[in-house]
Amino acid sequence: MNNPTIFSQILKGEIPCDEVYSDELCLGFRDISPQAPVHILIIPRKNISSLKDAEKKDAELLGHLLIVAGQIANKEGLEDWRTVINTGEKAGQTVFHLHLHVIGGRPLEWPPG
């Protein structure tokens, strides 16, 4: 990884996380600054900076991340939830390692902000 991020450090085991899911393609863990009662981040083990850097060859991985988001939401007992991918600094991306937010457990307003 060219530019280490907090997520790459988590993947290497250098920083602990509250893990809720793990497989050969991704890791899911609780956000340290949750915006709702359930706020889980899902990160691919492959270093992709943001969604705009994903390539056609990443299609299967991207689909897997979405399926895992649904599995985690179900495991957390969520009937309704929001799945968010912030892409770029002006969109709210603060860690430049692709990640999905699974947010729920309270009513969520629209637009979000």
Q: What is the pLDDT of residues 37-56, one digit of tens each?
A: 999 999 999 999 999 999 99
Q: Is 112 among the domain residues?
A: no
Q: Is 29 among the domain residues?
A: yes
Sheet with 19-22, edge to edge strand ranges: 19-22, 26-30, 38-44, 100-104, 81-84
Q: Is residue 7 predicted with pLDDT exceeding 60?
A: yes
Q: Is 110 among the domain residues?
A: no
The tally of domains found in the chain comes to 1
Q: Is 83 among the domain residues?
A: yes
The CATH number of whichever domain residue 68 belongs to comes to: 3.30.428.10
Domain containing 54 equals: 6-104
Query: Cα 45 from chain centroid?
Result: 11
Catalytic residue ranges? 99
Q: Is 27 among the domain residues?
A: yes
Q: Is 28 among the domain residues?
A: yes
DSSP E strands in the chain: the ranges are: 19-22, 26-30, 38-44, 81-84, 100-104
The pTM of the full predicted model, rounded to 2 decimals, is 0.95
